[in-house]
Each structure stands twice: as structure tokens, then as C-alpha cells.
Amino acid sequence: MSESVCATKHSAAVPDRPELREALREIVDSGIAGVQLRVHDERGEWTGSAGVAERGGAAGPPLDGHVRIGSNTKTFTATVVLQLVAEGRIALDTPAADCLPAFGLDRRITVRMLLQHTSGVFNHTGELLEDGTVAPGIPSTIAGREWVENRFTSYRPEELVRLSLSKPARFEPGTGWSYSNTNYVLARLLIEKVTGRSCAKETQERILGPLGLSGTVVPGTSPEIPEPYAHAYYRYEDAGRQEIVDVTRHDPSWISAGGDMISTTRDLHTFISALTGGRLLPDPLLAEMRTPHAMSGFGLGLRVQEVGEDGATVLFHNGGAAGHAALMYSTPDGSRTLTAALNYVDDAAMSLAGAFHKAQERLVGEVFGGGRA
């Protein structure tokens, strides 16, 4: 995309970080339309951006623009669940069916399994099977034109769960690992059943309000995104022609608490540093959250990764949501963080997934791994 080559901008309030500016240029050159980056470490705070906010435009992405954070939402949802565990209102290793009897869940599925993706529940947004084929769910971003035409459809979380439970389980509960957005729709419903209030209200009162995350939104079925923001796009085939649609506005209820939230790089930094620094959960539950599953490196709403030659540990989540994506990384003590927002042209083939992962590895390597991914 010719519009992807744009000057890299950074905050002038702190010393320049040429290695980060170069990483941003490489990300844009790989096909990502725009990227915003925020780094907090022993050298202070550094912010920068590269690329464009809108196809065909000249303006770069806003340094702290709003972005659909995709599966970073799961970390917020898991935190609320674990706060309820800390209060003794639910327990990690009890059947989720005790709180959600209406769905006929397998009683071997525990609350822990939902948060760690070991329940075996089919993913309502579709499953990529071992043979490379896709088992479809609702129209999601792996569905091409069908998702575009249905992107303003509203879904109730209960119907997403029932669709999933109408499909064969991926494996017996607790015997495998498979990433399923439906696990976190169930976690949302569990929060609402236990508290008697919406997951959005609980997230606001337990996390967003206390941390002052004024740029973060739990949108429900609203297609709106607060300004400023960079635009998100989706590409699909129609009668042999390639169509590209601006999908910045869409109803995010198709992903629900598995990935519907909107935030900024500043708010994501505040959240992940508070979480890993012990401000949101007691130490025993934070330890549970960051204990990785042997098959996946996935804890309870957080992933665990070692980077660089010295094997430094980072805690993170990331996510993509129809042409928007966000990265969120922290050291275990919250003293060093990396948060980023990307805007790009998404499609059913996820053709920019390679560029997304390369961007992730390059930035993590620079900030946490001494320049080595």
C-alpha cells in the first residue's frame, strides 16, 4: 500500500529511541497501515507512531488514539472473575454449571478451564481444525463478505453460547487446550449471574473507574468508537473483484467479552502495570493468573513468554478485531511495559497475520530482549 510509507513521529519530551523508530518503520513497510507505540522503562516514557490513520490520507495515527483491543479484553474479564474469587463469591475449581445452570454445561468444566481455554467448548466465531479446514460459527472476520454484510447485527451472549454448545466439543474438559472466545462469553455471563449486574458495570466499577481509565469503553452493542482513532478496514472478494470497506464502526457483540473493548495505549499501560504490580488482585490469585498452561503458555487471561538471550519473562495479551489490533506487555513487577495499537486491512485469510506477529516479535525484542526477539 503506497500510503503505508509515512514519517515516523515520536514524543519530543523524552530522549529519542532510534531503534524503536526503526521498528515502527519496518512494521509499516510490512503492510500494516499504521501503528502507535508506548513504552515505559528505566529510560522513561516513549511514544511514537508511523504510517497513516486513514487509507489515502497523509495524517499519521494519533499518538494515543482509541483502538478496538480485541482479545486484550479477556485480561480485563479474567481480572473481574478473579476479584470475585478473592471475595469468596465463586471458586476457580468448581463447576461453571453451578452458576450457569441454564446451558446444561458439562459439569467437568470449571471456572479455571474457562479462563485458561481448557474447557473444550467450541469457539462460536469458528474453529480452525487440525486439517486446515474451518468449522464455521456465526459470521465473524473469518467469513469474508458475510461478516461485512452482518457487521451491524447484534447478538445476545446467550445465543453465542447456545450456538457453541450445539457443536461437538473439541476435547474432554481439562484434557487439551484450544482458544475459544466462547469461554469468555461464559465468563461474562458468570460475572453477571454472581453479581446481578452487567459485566460492563462491574468492569467499570472494579477496574476502569479506580484506575482512571477514561479512554476505555465496554461498548456492548454500540458500533461507535470515541475520537481520535485510526481507521480499520476489511477486504473481501465480490464477483472476482476485491472490495475494501471501512469497518471502524461495527457492532462488537459478535465477539462479546472475548474481545469487544475499546482502549488506548495509555490506558492499557496503566491497566497492565497495575495488574502485574499487584494493585488489582491478591498475590495468590495473581500467581494463579500468571502460571502458564504447559501446552500453550496461557495462564488465566494472561500469557507468559520468555524473550531475549537471558530469558527475561514478560506477561502479556494481544488481540485483533477487524482491522484494529493491540499489544499489551509487562515485566512481572509492572516496571516495564509496552503497549501498541495497529490499524490495517483485515481479511478472511488473515493475510496480515504474519506481519502482525513479526511486528509483535520485533517490538518485544527491542523493549524486553535487548534487541533480540
Q: How do the pLDDT tens digits run along the chain, 373 residues long?
A: 333 344 456 655 567 899 999 999 999 999 999 999 999 999 999 999 999 999 999 999 998 999 999 999 999 999 999 999 999 999 999 999 999 999 999 999 999 999 999 999 999 999 887 787 888 899 999 999 999 999 999 999 999 999 999 999 999 999 999 999 999 999 999 999 999 999 999 999 999 999 999 999 999 999 999 999 999 999 998 888 999 999 999 999 999 999 999 999 999 999 999 999 999 999 999 999 999 998 888 999 999 988 866 668 999 999 998 999 999 999 999 999 999 999 999 998 888 888 888 888 888 988 998 655 4
Rounded Cα distance between 111 and 107, Å, is: 11
Judge contact between 182 and 88, C-beta under 8 A.
no
Active site (annotated) includes residue 166: no
pLDDT for position 14: 65
User: Could you please report the per-residue DSSP string of 202-246?
Assistant: HHIIIIIHHHT-TT-B--TT----PSSB---EEEEEETTEEEEEE
**Which pTM does this prediction carry?**
0.94
- Of 224, 289, 325, 312, the C-alpha closest to 75 is 289
Exactly one of 71, 140, 253, 330 is catalytic; name it. Answer: 71
pLDDT for position 4: 38
Rounded Cα distance between 356 and 320, Å, is: 9
pLDDT for position 372: 52
What does residue 302 show for φ and ψ, rounded to 5 degrees?
-135, 145
Residue that is written with C-alpha cell 500469557 in the block: 303
